[in-house]
Structure 1
Amino acid sequence: MQLKHIALAIMALPVCAQAASEATSPLLQKLEALEQQIKALQQSNAQIPLLQQQVQNLQQQLGVTADAVPAPVNAGTPPADAADEPETLKQTVNSLKIKVDTLSEAAQTGPIAGLSVTGFVDPMFLYNRNSNSASFHFLNKNGAYNYYDSNLGDVYLDIKKTFGVGPEAPSVELVIQPDRGSGASFSSESGGLTNSIFNQANVNLPLSSTDTLQLGLLPSLAGYEPNPTSQTQTLTHNLLFDFSEPASYLGMNYKLFTNNYQTLWQFMLANEQLKSAGAVVSGQNGRSSSNSTPTLAARVDYQYTTSLDLGFSANIGRQTLFTPSSCSGGYGYQCNLSSPFGRYAYAEADLTYTWADIQYNAQVDYGQQAHAAWNGGMAQWYGFSLLGSKKWHTDWLGKVGTVLRFDYLNNSRNGGGGSGILYGLSGNTASINPTSGWGVDQQCLNASSNNGMDCKGTNRGDIALDLLFYPTDKMTVKVEYRHDFASNAVFQRNDGSLSRNNDIFATQFIYSF
């Protein structure tokens, strides 16, 4: 019941005692109703200021009513319950005020103060031509990282707790993504997979209004494409995101705004990517080697205009080489290296241009890792990604979007390979990644007398076309056709043969909260 109704009821009290008695009883009922409303709204912090105002107005009106009611004329002594009701009303109002103040204090300093939980679910249906399969995908764990499902079809929870108010309040953030993303292949210090459900877990410590120190499990600084599916323009990620860019890091990151918040600098010191500790690799005679060299990473974003953001990032460090389990006397694909680690360097530049319902993205990158190629030499890779999207409104379908993306990644030098481009087992051959289309030239390898030491690696590209629909503000439906192609026959078909290309068709339902 709104307070203006209570006020009208009080103002309409007659001057006689009997009428006053009859009017105050409904007022008690209204106060009891208000108390029930407060109990129902205890979980809604947004209602606390309104309740405080209502209680203050009620107190004022109660004071006016008590003063305005005159003593009855020739009516004798009023009944005891009628005389006690004004005092009862005051006690009720005071009790309500205490409850509202308690709720307000809990909202600001209690356990739920500053707590937010956001996220999404995104089940999808996918058809894969090479595997001749079509099915729903959702929380179905896959040990290998595949471009078409390893970061899709998941539950994503972003839990953030802020301690205080204002730009200098510290906070803790946890991002949970079971069986997907970097957590699906996060490695322990011994190189084994830990299958962590966390994609991010860090504390943010503002040092001032312009700089912040972050510590914990942090996402990569590279590229234009974010990790959450709800923020991407396409259903699948681009090739650079999946195989070229560094993944998550465990360490610390320093963020600094300059030039009146127009420029953002970031400097990171961390373990090598996807390592929860410095990697320890077992060697001969029970000896082990440890990677004690940290990774240094940096990024700068310059807001050139309100529509154009320019970014540049770089990484340098030392990372663990991929070594088949069959190796016993060395490291690397050929088992002929004395060290299990190689120097690593990576750099990229990207831009994002947004104007109304139009968005353009572009990225170029280059990476290298010593001794990480198929033949034991320097692994080198470079590529680019271009994306354009447009949204518009229709009478029949409401808001609709279209996206076109083209990617290319060259990985041919020294037989291919590198930090994020790992080959897996295909039958008895540890030379290709059959599901994602990477590896050495199989025809060259089969004809080689030195296990393909002179063979080239594979270059990859893809083109993706997406349709996006927005039934509600929280709902997004993506439909994508993607064609992937390679310079060598490295995609495996369901009959065991190899192909130079693959096609997927997928649709994804995203509900954000």
Structure 2
Amino acid sequence: MKPHSHAKTVAPLLAALSLALLAAYPGAARAQSNEELLKELRELKERVGQLEDKLKAAEQKAAAPAPATAQWGMTPQQVQEFNRIAVKTEALEDNAEAMGTKGLKISGYMEPTYIYNRAQNRASFQFLNNVANDGFNYDNSYMGTLALDFQKETDNGTRWRLTLSPNRGTDAVIGNGGIVQEASVSVPLGDLQTRMIAGHIPDWSGYEYLPPTQNKLITHNLLFDFTLPTAYTGAGVELTRGKWITKAVLANMNASKLPSGEKAPVLAYRVDYARGEFQGFGFAGVHGKAANGVGGTKNTELHLFEVDGYFIRGDWTVQGQLSLGQQKRAAITPDPETGALRTAQWLGLSGLAAYKFSPRVEGIARLDWLKNDKHGGGLLGYGADPRNGIGPAIVGRDADSGELIFGDAEKGATRTALSLGLNYLYDLNTSFKLEYRLDRANVSVFEQVKDGSFRKSNSLLGAAMVVKF
């Protein structure tokens, strides 16, 4: 029976019950006055009304829709906060897209460095020193640098990168004096695994990287400093096929613009294969015409090739590299009969091993060997150099002109370098480095600035703090 039909029957039933009681007990009815009877009837009517009100309230509660329940166990206050955060997030995304910061990543690093060089009679902090004033040498290289890196990827997969490094960037090293380390774009062609790349691109050869955040020691190996290009300015492709990554460009090598009379770019390429999670190998090459250190302003034919590999697992890191190259008209010593400039050739090896004694402390050892004895030597962009130990044996300098006086001018130096270092990871953004390096040659090619003599070896001690974000 429905609640409202039950309520309508309550009053007649109570009235009939009252009449029955009066009939059964007539004496009691006569004993009561009319006033008392009316009072009892009014109370009974009031009680019936209360019961009817309760039944109506129950009907309204049953008919009303149930209030919305919180989802996922959230309270109404939590749902309100969630909605507020969602609206704010959408507003931030819209603002980032309107401001051009969507997909933008900003990072950077700096490396204040201290170097002691025995042959140069110098112990000094070096930080942001101008490469134009001191040149590019193994005792300064890219040390003491600062960089700010901007990377952005658009919705269609185009990547844009600008890395700025005052005084110590690749643009400064190649002689432009700018602050650009890298300025490149990568545009997908059909899919994200096939890309066109263009711009000012740092060299990708070898197992060592340019930034101090990716280089375990302070100095770089002999092959990095003296047998590899600095940067390319040009365009090419990048292909990713499974475990293989291939990059190739037609570009100016170590020049943002070729001089008048030069028209031929070089072909530069890099191929990497990740054999597994812990190991892989790669090779790189450059073929074409480029400037040389002794042949005047005209570019000459150059061929470079290197292969490198790595094994990184647990506490161990092992890396190695083999490089060879040659360049026409780049040898230090000309033909003794005709005076013609001859081809420079070199062959080099570098190996590095590192072991983590603890999660924070790592020991590193690196050994380099560079054979460069043909026609008096001559490396990529370098002639005879008593600071870096390149060229034939040196017996002194001319008293009037200051020019170097060679011993056997036909035989260049074969160089070695042993580096021992420690890294201490202070926190996720800061590390401290310490390195001792011993450079040697089979002939006397290191000038002792203090007394003007020449020796077969030189020692270097370095310390650096690398901070990144």
* Aligned counterpart in structure 1 of residue 249 of structure 2, from 244, 262, 268: 268
Per-residue CA deviations over 1:291-328 (Å, capped at 9, x if unaligned) read: 211101222111112211111111100112334xxxxx
Greater shift, 374-383 or 125-134, is seen at 125-134
Asked if residue 182 in structure 1 is aligned to residue 170 in structure 2, the reply is yes
* Aligned counterpart in structure 2 of residue 400 of structure 1, from 347, 357, 361: 361
Q: How does 1:490-501 map to 2 (within 5 A)?
A: 490-494=445-449, 495-501=451-457
Per-residue CA deviations over 1:228-280 (Å, capped at 9, x if unaligned) read: 1111111111000000112200001311111xx21111111101x21111233
- Corresponding position of 1:441: 393
**Aligned counterparts of 1:100 and 1:54: Cα–Cα separation in 2:** 20
Question: For residue 356 of structure 1, what is the amino acid of its counterpart?
Answer: G
- Corresponding position of 1:107: 96
Using the TM superposition, give the Cα deviation of residue 445 of structure 1 relative to its aligned residue in structure 2, in angstroms: 10
* Aligned counterpart in structure 1 of residue 141 of structure 2, from 146, 150, 166: 150
Using the TM superposition, give the Cα deviation of residue 340 of structure 1 relative to its aligned residue in structure 2, in angstroms: 2.3
Asked if residue 383 in structure 1 is aligned to residue 348 in structure 2, the reply is yes
* Aligned counterpart in structure 1 of residue 435 of structure 2, from 477, 480, 483: 480
The verdict on how the C-alpha distance between 1:174 and 1:344 changes in structure 2, with shifts beyond 3 A counting, is: same
- Corresponding position of 1:315: 286
In terms of Rg, which structure is larger?
A: 2
Using the TM superposition, give the Cα deviation of residue 184 of structure 1 relative to its aligned residue in structure 2, in angstroms: 2.5
Using the TM superposition, give the Cα deviation of residue 388 of structure 1 relative to its aligned residue in structure 2, in angstroms: 0.3
The verdict on how the C-alpha distance between 1:60 and 1:153 changes in structure 2, with shifts beyond 3 A counting, is: closer
8 Å CA contact retained: 2:396, 2:406: no
8 Å CA contact retained: 1:141, 1:179: yes
* Aligned counterpart in structure 1 of residue 324 of structure 2, from 349, 366, 369: 366
Question: For residue 507 of structure 1, what is the amino acid of its counterpart?
Answer: A
Question: For residue 411 of structure 1, what is the amino acid of its counterpart?
Answer: N
- Corresponding position of 1:504: 460
**Aligned counterparts of 2:357 and 2:207: Cα–Cα separation in 1:** 23
The verdict on how the C-alpha distance between 1:266 and 1:100 changes in structure 2, with shifts beyond 3 A counting, is: closer
Per-residue CA deviations over 1:349-373 (Å, capped at 9, x if unaligned) read: 1001111221100100100001110
- Corresponding position of 1:78: none
**Aligned counterparts of 1:297 and 1:485: Cα–Cα separation in 2:** 31
**Aligned counterparts of 1:60 and 1:451: Cα–Cα separation in 2:** 79
Using the TM superposition, give the Cα deviation of residue 118 of structure 1 relative to its aligned residue in structure 2, in angstroms: 0.9
Per-residue CA deviations over 1:43-91 (Å, capped at 9, x if unaligned) read: xxxxxxxxxx999822899xxxxxxxxxxxxxxxxxxxxxxxxxxxxxx
Asked if residue 245 in structure 1 is aligned to residue 267 in structure 2, the reply is no
* TM value normalised by structure 1: 0.69
**Aligned counterparts of 2:163 and 2:78: Cα–Cα separation in 1:** 42
- Structure 2: unaligned runs, 5 residues or longer: 1-74, 335-340, 399-404
* TM value normalised by structure 2: 0.75
Aligned residues, how many? 378
Using the TM superposition, give the Cα deviation of residue 442 of structure 1 relative to its aligned residue in structure 2, in angstroms: 2.2
The verdict on how the C-alpha distance between 1:123 and 1:292 changes in structure 2, with shifts beyond 3 A counting, is: same
8 Å CA contact retained: 1:441, 1:455: no
Identity of aligned residues (%): 31
Using the TM superposition, give the Cα deviation of residue 454 of structure 1 relative to its aligned residue in structure 2, in angstroms: 5.2
- Corresponding position of 1:45: none
RMSD of aligned residue pairs (Cα, Å): 2.5
**Aligned counterparts of 1:391 and 1:479: Cα–Cα separation in 2:** 15
The verdict on how the C-alpha distance between 1:341 and 1:445 changes in structure 2, with shifts beyond 3 A counting, is: farther
Secondary structure of the residue aligned to 2:346 is strand
Per-residue CA deviations over 1:403-428 (Å, capped at 9, x if unaligned) read: 000001111101111323x13xxxxx
- Corresponding position of 1:415: 376
Asked if residue 161 in structure 1 is aligned to residue 119 in structure 2, the reply is no
Question: For residue 252 of structure 1, what is the amino acid of its counterpart?
Answer: A
8 Å CA contact retained: 2:439, 2:457: yes
8 Å CA contact retained: 2:141, 2:220: no
Instruction: List 4+ stretches of structure 1 deviating above 6 A.
Output: 53-56, 450-453
Using the TM superposition, give the Cα deviation of residue 122 of structure 1 relative to its aligned residue in structure 2, in angstroms: 0.7
- Corresponding position of 2:80: 58
Question: For residue 245 of structure 2, what is the amino acid of its counterpart?
Answer: L
Asked if residue 346 in structure 1 is aligned to residue 299 in structure 2, the reply is no
Secondary structure of the residue aligned to 1:409 is strand
Using the TM superposition, give the Cα deviation of residue 105 of structure 1 relative to its aligned residue in structure 2, in angstroms: 1.4
